[in-house]
Structure formats: C-alpha cells, structure tokens
C-alpha cells in the first residue's frame, strides 16, 4: 500500500499534463443542462465520450443511468464503482456556458456536480495514461434523478438491479477537496404547503395568511424537545409564498429537513411534525399538507474501516487535511446496502447551488490523484475483509 | 446563375463528426493544419477555446498541428491566459516589424499567414461563448474530403430555407441582411447563396489565402469572398452549418461602423473590377450622432481602408516558405511549401 501511496505525486503530474482533456470534458458535458428528470441529453453525451475513450463497455441500465465499464484482469473479483450524480439544480433556461480563467472555471452547476461528471468522463483516459491495469472491473456510473425530488432514485435503482456483489465504491463530489464522508445520517426532507383559500367556507372570518400559518407551524416545531443522544437536528431550509406586499398570502410552502444518526428518531420527529401540521391546519381552517421529498437511512462505515484509514492516508500524503462528516448523497445508498463506500471532493470552489459557481483548477489534480489512489487501495483488497 | 451551389456545397458539421477518419485523411495527404485565433481583449473566452481545441483536435485526435493567437494589443489578460493553456501567442505589431503596422482583425489574419505553418488555416473568432470543436472540424472536413473545395465558410443560427425544404427562422446577422445581402443580390446574385458571408469562422488552403489581399479591418470577410469568387469561382467555396453560436451582441452603432467598412470594401472591389466608376473618391469618416437631452454631438470615426497585398508578394514570406516566384505569372498558380 505504501508503494501505491508513494506514486501519488507522479500521478498528480501526469494528470496535470492532460489538463486539456479534463477541462474539455468538464466544459462540454457541464454546459448541457441536466435538471432532475431531464438528464437524457447529458447522459447521451457522457456515453458518447466514454465510448470514444478506451471504455470497454458503454451502456445504460434499466433506469437510463449511463454506465461505462473498464474491464479488469480478474474475472473473479467483484467490480469497483465510481459514481457521480448527473443532475443539477438548474433549469434549461439558465445559461450553462462556462468561462475559464487562468485558474478557475465559472458557471452554473459546476459544484453541483458537473465538474465531477467531467472528471468521471476523463477517468478512462487518465487510467490509460497512468498505465494502470486493475484486477476488478471499474464501473463508472453517473446516476440520474438524484437531487431534490429525484430522491436518489437513480443510484437506488442501479444497486437494486446490479446482479453481482460490489467490492467498494467511491462517490465523487465536485467540492470540497478533503471531504471524507463514510457515514450518512438518517434524513427526511419534506415540504409543508399551506393553501388558505381552497374553497373553505368561513362565516365572517377573513382569510388566514398562509405565511403566518406556516410561522405558527415553525414555532411549534421549535418547541419540540430534541435529545442530545442520539443527536438530531431539524433544519428549516426554505420558505416561499404570497404574491405582493399588500395582499394576504393565500399560499406558502415551507421546506425542512430532519436529520439524525438514528432512523428511529428521524421517524419519530417526522410523526411529531405531521401531528403539528394536522393540528395547525384544523385550528386555522386551512389546507395544510406535508409531502415527503426524499429520505435516506442512517448507515456508516466504522472510522477505523480499512477503506477509511487508507483514504485518510492518501489525503495526508497529498497534504490535504481530511474533513470527516456525514453525507446524505449517493454514498448513503451504498452504505445502506452494506457496500463499503466513501465520498470524496475533487477541488475547491465557491457558489454552491448558485449559477455563478466558481471552481479552482489547480487543486483538481490532487483531487483526481486521490481518487486513483483510493481506487488502487480498493483493488488491492482494503474492502475485502 | 449557378443556383445549385447551395445544394451541392452546403454541409452540416455532423457529416464530418468522424474525427478519426479526418485525422487519417490528413495524415495520408501529408497536410498540416493551423488554427488561428485573432484576439483583442478576449480574456473571458480565449481559454475555453484553446482548451477545447487542444483536447479534442490535438490530444485526442491529431487534426490540428498548432494553435496560434495573434493579438492586437489586448489590455486585459488575454495573452497570458492563452500562453498558459498552450497556444503560441504573438503580438501582431511584432510580426514583420519591417512593414508599417496597422491595427485590425484583417491585419491579424494576414500576419497569421506568415507565422503559421499549416497548409490549411482555420480562422475562428475568439469570442464564441458556446465554443465546441465542431467549429473547427466542421470547416476542416470539406477541405480534407473534397479536393475541389479550397475555402469553407461557417454559418450558424438557421438559414432561411434548407436543402430539405425546412424553413428555419433566421438568416445572417443584421449587417448581412441589411447591407451585404442586398449588395450581393444587386451585383453578384450567386453569392447570396452564402448564408452568412460575414461569419468570422472560415478555413482554407494557404495557397488561396496567400494570393489575395487582406483589408486590415472589418472588410476582410467581404473581400475574401469576392476575391476568391473572382479568382477561382464559386465551386471552390463551401459552407457548413455549425448550428448555434453564442457571442457578444453588438450595438447598432458598432454595426454601423462595420457596415461602413464593408460598403467601402465592396465598392473598392467593384471599381477594381471595372464594374463601376466613381467620379470622386469616397470619404473615410463614419459620422454618427449621440443625442443627450438637447445636445446632439457628432461621433466621427475615421475608418482606415488600408489593405495588405497578397502575402506571397512579401519577400520575407517567400523566403520563409521557400517559395520561388514563377517567371511567367500567367502560368499555373505558385506552389508553396509548408515549413515543418
């Protein structure tokens, strides 16, 4: 393993020498809008580029997740997965043209998660350039319908229908380099929608203000007692409603997330919130509905799992301080299926979820080198225990 | 009038998508291809153009041999960024310093003939926001695969009608539709088949470019088409649909200046060909007005109509490329040899 780690600097230099290939993939793929449920065009280009670039097999699974396979030497070893999500939070109307400066790329979706998709498309070329030949097949998958209402459907389907065992997985995130996620909290995201003029008969009463009704819901949620252990968190993340300053808001929507390392606690808190919603709705004579947007089960690797330990060593070797923490992205689905998996970031950037996201080019070379290092570690057996 | 040209010599870039095939044809024919990007303050778009062409048409498929940036003296970071991403960068004013220096796009393109080494030269504007390698291989394709074609012009958006009778919403830009197309319709109806004569994306053989004069400014695209048409005929020209192109929108005033230069070039060519006679010389100032409140102020710009001679007339060029002048100028075209 130490030998492999000692190669990382050379990997970094070799990857820097094909900077144009990596950036071109990031730009050409990332400039194609891919809002959730409308990823087909981006998926098509990704497959096209992988098929042109030393990938032995390119296909889509039954759910239209684009997949490329770089065949390994051994027919007995299970495959290793490298995964990114394909969808971005921006609609097709948003300008997706990127600009490149001497050390940055700027544009919509780069951090969420277009840069990582471009790197995924470049990996076959990089693997070939580095002269690597793995025992396992390397499955490069960019899963659709991941974020928001997609609720990680693409990766769930991929794992549900994959017929062989999986040796291990690395989920690539555009940022931040140094992140080392090997646990996922239990999580439920929901919208609470209030409609105050939905044909309800009110004798002499004025129409309740939907925003104020949601305010009451928030107040009651804040009154819930959360235990210190297991740790839990309720985050009120979004609120929208109303039409104009002088008019009582007739509709409003509140978005919140419940998180904990205990699935039981997440379920319990969600039940409490649904009770609150039902009560406030009846008291104010409004339609108040809760809708689940996405949910993830709690799962984790131990902090001393060989994959986690090796990944941390690789980061340290590259002078990157590991930032450990949970992630509720694709890695959570691997972990809840008992597949050893980690999520790693590729570079640094600013403007997550914003159209003018800006990523740095220079850290990317270390970011990709760490992925190759971890891939080698999994191929050498760190997930096989 | 040859009105079949639009059917026989109009292509879509997708016909040339097989880059491996293009690279093999290029190698078999022993050709070198240069990509030239004329720049003036293009720091926002230059890196992306270079990276994509280098990745797709140099590293992945060996179609282009060099990327050359000819800069007019950018005040921003254009040159540094272009160098960083691997282009060969030259200041126009430092090329052929023995000659009087001018400033303008045509000047950069002309000087690129001296600097580049390719048998085929691809000229692309450096301000394309949605740059894609199709902008280059789409232009190179017809030149490699059809030996009759020597000059290829790009067009984008949508032509008015197409070979498959589909109606598409727009033709050229404003200056094309309001200035050049009416002129072509009046004097050279065959040339109206060129959908976007003013597009900044074209490619051709050095043996063509070196034998035509280059106006230093906006008139370059117009003169190039007229000169190639007059010398070699419409058959050596092709056009390629490059689909969508996103670039900076220009103000009507800026387009007025462009129209001025184009009109001047056009009229000059008509006079040179003996097709019209002017009783007086043309003025060289474009006069526009700015109105602010009650103030009306003239905005006068002198637009130079200097023109570079065919590059082959420049001794330094002939020396560099080992060209020997034919003692009988009426015989076969001069042969040029690329410097490797």
The band of B172, judged by pLDDT with boundaries at 50, 70 and 90, is low
Residue A214 pLDDT greater than 50, yes or no: yes
What is the C-alpha separation between A60 and A47, in angstroms, rounded?
8
CB spacing of B59 vs A21 below 8 angstroms: yes
What is the C-alpha separation between B308 and B220, in angstroms, rounded?
10
The band of A198, judged by pLDDT with boundaries at 50, 70 and 90, is low
Give the residue with greater pLDDT, B77 vs B334.
Answer: B77
CB spacing of A98 vs B43 below 8 angstroms: no
Residues contacting B210, CB < 8 A, separation 6+: B113, B310, B311, B312, B317, B334, B336
The DSSP bridge pattern shows strands B66-71 and A57-60 to be unpaired
Give the residue with greater pLDDT, B218 vs A68.
Answer: A68
Check CB contact of B56 with chain A, cutoff 8 Å: yes
As to burial, measured by CB atoms within 10 angstroms (0-12 exposed, 13-18 middle, 19+ buried), residue B52 is buried
What is the C-alpha separation between A277 and A289, in angstroms, rounded?
7
pLDDT computed for residue B325 by the predictor: 77
Domain ranges in chain B are: 5-248+309-320
Check CB contact of B132 with chain A, cutoff 8 Å: yes
pLDDT in tens, A138-195: 999 999 999 988 989 999 999 999 999 999 999 999 999 999 999 999 999 999 999 9
Residue among B270, B184, B193, B181 nearest B234 (CA): B193
Check CB contact of A163 with chain B, cutoff 8 Å: no
How far away is chain A from the Cα of B30, in angstroms, using its nearest Cα? 25
Residue B273 pLDDT greater than 90, yes or no: no
pLDDT computed for residue A201 by the predictor: 60
CB spacing of B60 vs A53 below 8 angstroms: yes
User: Tokens standing for B252?
Assistant: 């009507």
Check CB contact of B48 with chain A, cutoff 8 Å: yes
Question: What residues of chain A lie within 8 A of the CB of B60, using their CB?
Answer: 21, 52-53
Question: What residues of chain B lie within 8 A of the CB of A99, using their CB?
Answer: 44-45, 48
Angle at B119 between CA B118 and CA B121, to 5 degrees: 65
Q: Which residue of B has its CA nearest to A30?
A: B130
Check CB contact of B80 with chain A, cutoff 8 Å: yes
Question: What residues of chain A lie within 8 A of the CB of B246, using their CB?
Answer: 97
Strands of the sheet with A287-296, listed across from one edge:
A232-241, A251-260, A186-195, A287-296
Measure the CA dihedral A41/A42/A44/A46, to 10°: 170
Angle at A70 between CA A69 and CA A74, to 5 degrees: 110
Tell me the CA end-to-end span of chain A in Å, nearest whole number: 16
Check CB contact of A187 with chain B, cutoff 8 Å: no
Residue B40 pLDDT greater than 70, yes or no: yes
Check CB contact of B21 with chain A, cutoff 8 Å: no
What is the C-alpha separation between A345 and A364, in angstroms, rounded?
9
Question: What residues of chain A lie within 8 A of the CB of B51, using their CB?
Answer: 19-20, 23-24, 27, 100
- Other CB atoms within a 10 A radius of the CB of residue B246 amount to 13
Nearest to B52 among A19, A24, A99 (CB): A24
The band of B272, judged by pLDDT with boundaries at 50, 70 and 90, is confident
Give the residue with greater pLDDT, B243 vs B244.
Answer: B243
Contact yes or no for B84/B69 (Cβ under 8 A): no
What is the C-alpha separation between B22 and B141, in angstroms, rounded?
7
Question: What residues of chain A lie within 8 A of the CB of B129, using their CB?
Answer: 97
Interface of A with B in 87-106 (CB under 8 A): 97-102
Q: Which CATH architecture has domain B5-248+309-320?
A: Alpha-Beta Complex (3.90)
CB spacing of B81 vs A23 below 8 angstroms: no
Question: What is the three-class DSSP state of B251?
Answer: coil
What is the C-alpha separation between B26 and B23, in angstroms, rounded?
5
Residue whose pair of structure tokens reads 């087909």 in the numeric block: A40
Inter-chain Cβ pairs, chain A and chain B, closer than 8 A: 49
Least confident of A23-32, A118-127, A353-362, B168-177: B168-177
What is the C-alpha separation between A114 and A34, in angstroms, rounded?
9
pLDDT computed for residue B328 by the predictor: 66
The DSSP 8-state label assigned to residue A94 in this structure reads S
Residue among B121, B45, B43, B53 nearest B87 (CA): B53
Q: What is the mean pLDDT of chain A?
A: 93
Phi-psi region of B126 (alpha: psi -120 to 50; beta: other; left: phi over 0): alpha
What's the half-sphere exposure (Cβ side, CA atoms, 13 Å) at A146?
Answer: 26
The band of B306, judged by pLDDT with boundaries at 50, 70 and 90, is confident
Percentage of residues in chain A having pLDDT higher than 70: 96
Residue among A216, A25, A190 nearest A110 (CA): A25
The band of B334, judged by pLDDT with boundaries at 50, 70 and 90, is very low
Percentage of residues in chain B having pLDDT higher than 70: 90
pLDDT in tens, A18-64: 999 999 999 999 999 999 999 999 999 999 999 888 799 999 999 99
Q: Which of B17, B48, B248 to substitute to test the interface with A, most A CBs within 10 Å?
A: B48
Mean pLDDT of A241-257: 94
pLDDT computed for residue B258 by the predictor: 86
pLDDT computed for residue A206 by the predictor: 74
How far away is chain A from the Cα of B314, in angstroms, using its nearest Cα? 37
Q: What is the mean pLDDT of chain B?
A: 88
Check CB contact of A23 with chain B, cutoff 8 Å: yes
User: Tokens standing for A299?
Assistant: 């799962």
Nearest to A20 among B51, B130, B132 (CB): B51
Q: Which of B53, B55, B59 to substitute to test the interface with A, most A CBs within 10 Å?
A: B55
Domains along the sequence of chain A with CATH: 2-184+298-379 (3.40.630.10), 186-296 (3.30.70.360)
Residue A385 pLDDT greater than 90, yes or no: no
Check CB contact of A170 with chain B, cutoff 8 Å: no
Contact yes or no for A63/A121 (Cβ under 8 A): no
Question: What residues of chain B lie within 8 A of the CB of A25, using their CB?
Answer: 55
Nearest to B51 among A23, A31, A53 (CB): A23
Mean pLDDT of B325-337: 52
Least confident of A293-302, B238-247, B310-319: B238-247
pLDDT computed for residue B333 by the predictor: 46
DSSP bridge pairs for A23: none
**What does each C-alpha distance from B120 to A348, B59, B322 come to in angstroms?**
41, 19, 17
As to burial, measured by CB atoms within 10 angstroms (0-12 exposed, 13-18 middle, 19+ buried), residue A255 is middle
Nearest to A27 among B43, B52, B60 (CB): B52
DSSP bridge pairs for B215: B307
Check CB contact of A27 with chain B, cutoff 8 Å: yes
Cα B273 → chain centroid? 22
Q: Which residue of A has its CA nearest to B43?
A: A101
Question: What is the three-class DSSP state of B101?
Answer: coil
Question: What is the three-class DSSP state of A31?
Answer: coil
Helices A40-51 and A19-30: crossing angle in degrees, nearest 10, is: 150
pLDDT in tens, A293-349: 988 899 999 999 999 999 999 999 999 999 999 998 999 999 999 999 999 999 999
CB spacing of A101 vs B85 below 8 angstroms: no
> What is the gyration radius of the CA atoms in chain A, in angstroms?
23
Give me the interface pTM, i.e. the ipTM: 0.81
Instruction: Evaluate the CA torsion angle A122, A123, A126, A128 in order and state its sign.
Output: negative
Nearest to B48 among A21, A52, A99 (CB): A99
């Amino acid at each position: 393993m130490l030998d492999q780690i000692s190669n990382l600097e050379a990997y970094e230099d070799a990857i820097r020498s094909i900077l144009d290939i990596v950036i071109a993939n990031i730009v050409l793929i990332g400039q194609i809008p891919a809002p959730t449920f409308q990823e087909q065009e981006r998926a098509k280009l990704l497959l096209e580029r992988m098929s042109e670039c030393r990938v032995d097999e390119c296909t889509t699974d039954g759910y239209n997740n684009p997949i490329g396979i770089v065949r390994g030497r051994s027919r007995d070893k299970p495959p290793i997965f490298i995964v990114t999500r394909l969808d971005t939070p921006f609609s097709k109307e948003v300008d997706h043209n990127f600009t490149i400066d001497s050390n940055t790329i700027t544009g919509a979706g780069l951090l969420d998660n277009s840069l990582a998709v471009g790197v995924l498309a470049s990996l076959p070329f990089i693997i070939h350039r580095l002269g690597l030949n793995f025992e396992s097949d390397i499955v490069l998958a960019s899963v659709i319908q991941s974020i928001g209402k997609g609720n990680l459907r693409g990766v769930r389907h991929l794992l549900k229908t994959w017929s062989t065992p999986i040796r291990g997985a690395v989920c690539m995130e555009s940022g931040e380099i140094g992140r080392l996620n090997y646990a996922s909290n239990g999580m439920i995201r929901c919208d609470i929608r209030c409609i105050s003029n939905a044909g309800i008969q009110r004798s002499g009463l004025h129409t309740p203000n939907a925003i104020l009704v949601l305010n009451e819901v928030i107040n009651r949620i804040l009154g819930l007692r959360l235990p210190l252990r297991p740790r839990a968190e309720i985050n009120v993340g979004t609120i929208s409603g109303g039409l104009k300053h002088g008019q009582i808001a007739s509709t409003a929507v509140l978005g919140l997330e419940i998180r904990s390392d205990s699935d039981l606690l997440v379920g319990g808190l969600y039940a409490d919130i649904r009770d609150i919603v039902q009560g406030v709705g009846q008291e104010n004579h409004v339609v108040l509905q809760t809708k689940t947007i996405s949910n993830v089960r709690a799962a984790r690797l131990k902090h001393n799992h060989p994959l986690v330990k090796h990944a941390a060593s690789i980061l340290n070797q590259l002078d990157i301080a590991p930032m450990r923490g949970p992630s509720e992205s694709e890695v959570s689905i691997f972990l809840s299926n008992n597949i050893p998996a980690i999520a790693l970031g590729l570079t640094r950037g600013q403007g997550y979820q914003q159209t003018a996201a800006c990523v740095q080019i220079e850290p990317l070379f270390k970011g990709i080198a760490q992925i190759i290092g971890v891939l080698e570690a999994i191929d050498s057996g760190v997930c096989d225990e | 009038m040859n009105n079949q040209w639009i059917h026989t010599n109009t292509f879509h870039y997708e016909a040339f998508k097989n880059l491996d095939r293009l690279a093999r044809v290029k190698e078999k024919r022993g050709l070198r291809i240069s990509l030239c990007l004329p720049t003036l303050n293009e720091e926002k778009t230059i890196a992306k153009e270079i990276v994509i062409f280098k990745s797709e048409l140099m590293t992945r498929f060996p179609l282009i041999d060099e990327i050359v940036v000819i800069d007019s003296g950018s005040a921003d970071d254009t040159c540094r960024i272009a160098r960083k991403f691997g282009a060969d960068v030259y200041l126009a004013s430092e090329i052929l310093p023995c000659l009087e220096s001018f400033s303008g796009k045509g000047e950069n393109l002309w000087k690129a003939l001296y600097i580049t080494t390719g048998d085929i030269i691809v000229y692309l504007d450096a301000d394309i926001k949605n740059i894609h390698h199709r902008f280059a291989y789409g232009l190179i394709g017809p030149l490699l695969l059809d030996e009759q074609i020597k000059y290829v012009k790009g067009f984008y958006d949508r032509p008015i009608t197409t070979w498959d009778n589909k109606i598409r919403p727009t033709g050229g830009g404003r200056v094309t539709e309001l200035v050049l197309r009416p002129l072509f319709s009046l004097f050279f109806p065959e040339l109206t088949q060129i959908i976007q004569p003013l597009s900044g994306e074209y490619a051709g053989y050095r043996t063509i470019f070196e034998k035509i004069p280059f106006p230093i400014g906006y008139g370059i695209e117009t003169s190039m088409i007229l000169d190639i048409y007059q010398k070699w005929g419409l058959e050596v020209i092709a056009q390629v649909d490059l689909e969508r192109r996103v670039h900076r929108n220009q103000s009507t005033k800026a387009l007025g200046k462009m129209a001025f230069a184009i009109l001047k070039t056009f009229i000059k060519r008509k006079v040179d060909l003996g097709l019209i006679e002017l009783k007086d010389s043309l003025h060289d100032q474009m006069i526009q007005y700015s109105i602010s409140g009650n103030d009306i102020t003239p905005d006068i710009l002198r637009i130079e109509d200097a023109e570079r001679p065919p590059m082959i007339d420049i001794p330094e060029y002939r020396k560099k490329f080992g060209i020997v002048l034919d003692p009988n100028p009426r015989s076969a075209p001069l042969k040029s040899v690329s410097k490797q």
